[in-house]
Structure formats: C-alpha cells, structure tokens
Structure 1
Amino acid sequence: MQDILQVGAVTSTHGLAGEVKVFPTTDDPKRFKKLKQVLLDTGKGMRELEVMQVKFFKNLVILKFRGCDKIEDVMAFKGKNLYVTREHAVKLKKNEYFIADLIGMDVCLEDGSHLGMLEEVLQTGANDVYEVRLEDGREVLIPAIRQCILEVDVEAGRMTVHLLEGLLE
C-alpha cells in the first residue's frame, strides 16, 4: 500500500492572485472541499501546502494556498501532481478501494488458481473495469461488479474473481 495518494494535477495558474487550476484524479472532485492540506511533488521532494480556498470551474478545481498570494508564487506548480497522505484521504465505504491499492494485485479465480495481475482500473461511468494481464501476455477486462469481484484483500494484495462466460474468449 502506498502512503500517499494522488488527488490531482496542476494544469495551470488561475488569475494573478496565486490560484491554480487542478485536474482532479479522484472520482468525486467535491472531496477537495474537505481537504485542509496537500503535498505538491516538486520533483525534488514533497512540499506541504495548506488549502485556503476551493472553487470549481467546469471539470477543474481551483485551489488557493496559504502564502501563495501572487502568480509568481505558483508558476512552478504547473504540471506537478498533488497528493494527500492516507490519514488525510477521504474515508472509504464498504467495498470501496483506492485505485492505487488495486494496481499490482494478484488476481485469482474462485478455485484458487492464479489468473494474472491487475494492471489498470478503467473508469467507464456505469462501473469500473479491471484490466488484468494474464500469464501468457493476453489481457482480460473484468467488470467491477459483485457478480465478478468476490473478494478483495488489500493487505494481502490479492483479489478473487468469478469470470462471466465469454470474458476469456
């Protein structure tokens, strides 16, 4: 499990008063309202920033940070990713998982045999789809629905699935 989770990427500055536009990488951008602090990956380390104001514009989040009062203060933030520590991440409901915790999981069939490794989570709108790389290099797409995902053990890094008829063909 990762200790930090990505919540967004700074796309550009916004105005002259030190605000930035952020493309959210969370499934619910409204979660930014609850954020008090974020970590900016400067490329040379993490910089902690206190969130002072949150606004929404189209598909972007506009953030204002304490001590960043002019455009020059945030110019270097462009193209950088924003993270939160696990303790500051939103609390998940039952059967919800952070994508970062799912990537790299061993995926097994319900009979215990190894199927492959979860490589990607595709967010389709109706439900997520898990892209699993098989031992022979092929991939299978498994819908993240209760009929298919039988068990997820984040601590063990293992997922047990039931393949619907036709998924491996």
Structure 2
Amino acid sequence: MTVAAILAPWGIRGEVKVDLLSDDPQRLKPGLEVWVAPPGGEPPRPDRVEWARPQGRFWRVKLAGCPDRTAAEALRGGRLQVPEDRVPPLPEGEYYVFQLVGLQVVDPDGRPVGRVRDVLRYPANDVIVVDADDGREVLIPAIRQAVAEVDLAGGRLVLGDLPGLLD
C-alpha cells in the first residue's frame, strides 16, 4: 500500500519532500519499515524512516538508505509503501486506494464501463480515475450519489444513477 508520494529532494542531506496519502500521520513514524518504489518501474527496495516532520501540507522525511541529495533526487516521483498486512482495517464504507485500483467499474445496469486506475485526493472529495473500455479517461467523484456500491470480494465498483456521470 502506498502511504506517500515522493515529490522532490529537500536540502543536501538525503531528505525528501513527500505528500502523505494517509489521514494517519503515524504512517511516517521513526523506525517504520517501508518499501521505496523508485520511479520508472524499478523494483521496490526496503528502507526505514529515520524521522519525519510536517512542513505545511507536505512532509519532510529522512530515510536511512538515502544519504545525500543525489540519492534523494533519484527517488523523485517514487512512492513509500508498506505491506498490505500491516494496514489497519478501515471503518465500514471506507477503502484504501490499493483496494480500489483494478476494480471493474459497471454502470447501474451492470454494463462494464472500465477499470479503476487511480484515486486523486482533493479537499472537497476524492476523485476516482477510470480507464474506460472505449479509451477515455473518466473521472468519478467519490461521493454516494456517484458510487452506489464497492464490492471488493466481487472485484467491482457499481456507479450510481447520477445524470451526466459518464459524459
């Protein structure tokens, strides 16, 4: 599960600026074992959070395996991840992004629309990015009127009957 997106190096001592993708700031507690997924599809490597501090809406993080700015620059666009078995359960009706990515999206009548590619976080509400079967990218607001059901066991997300949702 991705807990933070690595945005850029910060300073010269191997620190990185990250966007925390969790509502729980304990996700970056010192000593946390993480997997660092560099950009470009390289395999993730294990690492450990030495320390993390909030800096405005972002976080400044020092990883044990990132000694200098050059190493930090190589992580730009990467992700910090934790194993799925270490993820605490969420309340009913809430989902982690990794649970939604890959779900088949169907309209209210059960007709296939596409697959969930990503979830974008915005202040008003999250937005579900769907790669539609017809080649379009469809943005679905993560609100009750737009998402009628999430069936993780069945591998599908059922859209609500909201006029203009797929237009």
Q: TM-score range by the shorter chain?
A: 0.7 to 0.9
Cα 1:11–1:160, aligned 2, differ >3 Å: closer, same or farther? same
* 2:34 alignment partner in structure 1: 38
For the aligned residue pairs, the C-alpha RMSD in angstroms reads: 3.0
CA distance 1:34–1:153, change in 2 (3 Å):
farther
How far the C-alpha of 1:20 sits from its partner, in A, is 0.8
For the Cα contact (< 8 Å) 2:3–2:27, is it kept in 1?
Answer: no
| Higher Cα Rg, which structure | 1
**Structure with higher strand content:** 1
Q: 2:6 aligns with which of 2, 6, 9?
A: 9
Point out where structure 1 has 5 or more consecutive residues left out of the alignment. none
Q: Tell me whether 1:126 sits opposite 2:121 in the alignment.
A: no
Identity of aligned residues (%): 30
TM-score of the two chains, using structure 2 as the length reference? 0.73
For 2:158, the equivalent position in structure 1 comes to 160
Structure 2: runs of 5+ lacking an equivalent: none
Matches of 1:66 and 1:118, distance apart in 2 = 34
> How many matched pairs?
161
Distance (Å, rounded) in 2 between the aligned partners of 1:149 and 1:65 = 38
1:138 & 1:75 partners in 2: Cα distance?
A: 38
Comparing 30-39 and 107-116, the one that deviates more: 30-39
Distance of 1:51 and 1:126 partners within structure 2 = 30
Hey, what's the Cα distance between the residues in 2 that align with 1:63 and 1:23? 7
Is the 8 Å Cα contact of residues 108 and 115 (structure 1) preserved in structure 2? yes
Give the SS at the match of 1:55.
strand
